[in-house]
Amino acid sequence: MSTPNRWERARETMTLRDVMGPLLEQAFLRPGLGSLGTPVSSAVGQMNVLEAKGRYYCHVLLPGINPEDVELTLRQNMLTLTAKLPELFSEDLRQQGGYLLQEFGGGEFTRSVIFPKDVQGDGIEAHYDRGVLMIEIPVAEHAQAKRIAIHEAVGSAQPKTPSVEGA
């Protein structure tokens, strides 16, 4: 007599997170991937953003990229950087051989950051030095915190309290 095998759902099924997690991480979440999921470089496009002194300071790693191949745009409070890393091997050489190891490649990538406060687009400054793009973005005047002065009331030592009629 055979005994039926008990189906254990937890052991035989995969969750959607198990299936989609690695796919999404490789295709969308890594900034080093180009638009079609091809490797650009793990260091290309990494970004630090700091807010201090009424400005946002952004540093973006762009090793091997010419400043002419970088496009920087601001729309509302979103800064978008698009850059193109050139292919280092010629097309002819790549077709004749095969990669033994490919950890980076050429291609275009895009990074965007949305600032929580309104920014002043006319005052943006960008400088490129030894593979690092440095961007300074001023926070808009109306979005900066302002200290409000409190003046002492003249002629009265006691604060006035509203009176309630009929109480």
Q: Which CATH architecture has domain 47-143?
A: Sandwich (2.60)
pLDDT at residue number 56: 95
Domain ranges in the chain are 47-143
> How many C-beta atoms surround the C-beta of residue 41 within 10 A?
23
> How many C-beta atoms surround the C-beta of residue 123 within 10 A?
12
pLDDT at residue number 80: 94
> From first to last of its 167 residues, what are the pLDDT tens digits of the chain?
555 666 555 555 667 776 676 666 555 544 444 444 445 556 778 899 999 999 999 999 998 889 999 999 999 899 999 998 888 888 888 888 877 887 777 888 899 999 999 999 899 999 999 999 999 999 988 877 778 888 888 876 666 666 666 65
pLDDT at residue number 14: 65
CA distance 24 to 7: 30
Residue type, 54: G
Report yes or no: 109 and 45 within 8 Å, Cβ to Cβ.
yes
